[in-house]
Amino acid sequence: MKRVLLVIGGGIAAYKCLDLIRRLAEKGYAVRCVMTKAAQEFITPLAVGAISNERVATELFDLEGEREIGHIRLAREADIVVVAPATADLLARMAQGHANDLATAVLLATRSIVLAAPAMNPAMWNHPATQRNVRQLETDGVRFIGPNAGEMAEKGETGVGRMAEVSELVERIESLLAEEAAGADNGFGFLTISGTRGRVSSSSAPALAGRHVLVTSGPTHEPIDPVRYIANRSSGKQGHAIAAAARRLGARVTLITGPVQIADPEGVEVRHVETAREMLAAVEEALPADIAVFAAAVADWRVATPGRGKIKKQANAEPPQLELVENPDILRTIAKRGVRRPTLVVGFAAETSTVVENAQAKRKAKAVDWIVANDVSEETGVFGGERNKVHLVTAEGTETWPEMSKAEVAETLLQRAAGFLAQARESV
């Protein structure tokens, strides 16, 4: 039976932990809980204890508790330690290596995977101090989920800062434990885990430090007239996840995105564009880059002559005829550049049938190094969804990856790309 140690921080999202404990228990996990002093302002140890069916640990210097199960055992017996909600204060204390209460002492003593689910006001999340702490913790091997964008507990406040949903947390816990069970390297280049369990070596620099990664994301909008446009169903989730993963791996990242409803990833330079031609211009301007990943769903066609004013519906008249012309192919243009071609050019292929074959043909036709092929048929839910199942098509062959969250696809892809660059450097 896998053991989850849940460290509950002091935020309004603490109430979600009750549901989290229940969901994990339903899946057969043993859940023990540690609550900070602040957490007990939001939910009671009594409620947490009743749902987890375990004594809740709250004090570092608790004679009875230490006799029963000391903080070192709490830390060591867990297969994964989940910090939820990870408040700005708790993240700061973790980043500094504090051990002045039970929660931080356990986090310092553990050798297990640590997953943090931040939750706080968007201004606190975006503050350079919090971002610095998050980067430090990532370097120390802490894994993160969220925060998500949306409405805050404070009336009228929206932004990035909501704790990940319980279902997302359960899914991530399961995938991290599966990853761990598979020996931390499942052949797809997940994070290199070394030394003590689950911790990324902190002595090595992040895999993409010093590199520039360019990513395109989202749809393009091609105007029909000033109020109408041609678009597609891309949400930008996959492309934005790639930009965020590249940033986490230490790269300088430029994200060029079409119109989307999701937040800009932190620490990334973002260029917002509307049309394919604007996207191409922004990509050209952002070069040179070491890696370029083209995840945007660029419209293949645009209206030859968009109306200057709103095209009027005329009574009893024929509908207007729209003449379409081809848009520039951004991926092909960049991949075929003689000068300032990125070392690694990665395209995506959005297919609804014969996915791999079409992607292999696309790789050759567009002269790209790798193609990430995904099935965007309606039933897969890839457009706009949280998960993706992809095939990586390279000159060496095609790999089919298991279904993962878009964040995991991004992380796996970027780890592979980092390995590619490292090899390219060695062979020079």
234 is a contact residue toward ligand PMT (CB under 6 A): yes
From the candidates 232, 327, 358, 374, which is the catalytic residue? Answer: 232
Stretch that binds ligand PMT, among 16-24, 151-159, 378-386, 412-420 (CB under 6 A): 378-386
User: What residue type is assigned to position 17 of the chain?
Assistant: C
Left, alpha or beta for 181 (phi > 0: left; psi -120 to 50: alpha)?
alpha
Stretch that binds ligand PMT, among 8-16, 131-139, 191-199, 236-244 (CB under 6 A): 236-244
258 is a contact residue toward ligand PMT (CB under 6 A): no
Query: Angle at Cα 159 formed by Cα 153 and Cα 160, nearest 5°?
Result: 95
Q: Choose between 306 and 328: whose C-beta lies nearer to ligand PMT.
A: 328
Q: Choose between 38 and 224: whose C-beta lies nearer to ligand PMT.
A: 224
237 is a contact residue toward ligand PMT (CB under 6 A): yes
Closest separation in Å from C-beta 299 to ligand PMT: 7
Sequence-ordered list of residues with C-beta below 8 angstroms from that of 231, at least 6 positions apart, any chain? 219, 220, 221, 222, 259, 299
Contacting residue, 80, 86, 298, 410, with ligand PMT by CB under 6 A: 298
9 is a contact residue toward ligand PMT (CB under 6 A): no
Specify whether the CB–CB gap between 194 and 183 falls below 8 A: no
Residues 165-224 that bind ligand PMT (CB under 6 A): 216
94 is a contact residue toward ligand PMT (CB under 6 A): no
| DSSP H or E stretch at residue 358 | helix 355-365
Comparing CA positions, the residue from 181, 22, 180 lying closest to residue 115 is 180
User: What residue type is assigned to position 400 of the chain?
Assistant: T
Sequence-ordered list of residues with C-beta below 8 angstroms from that of 272, at least 6 positions apart, any chain? 257, 259
Contacting residue, 134, 193, 268, 350, with ligand PMT by CB under 6 A: 350
Residue 148 annotated as catalytic: no
Q: Distance between CA atoms of 269 and 153, rounded to whole angstroms?
A: 29
Residues in contact with ligand PMT by CB under 6 A are 216, 234-239, 276, 294-298, 300, 327, 329-331, 347-350, 362, 374, 376, 382-384
Active site residues: 232
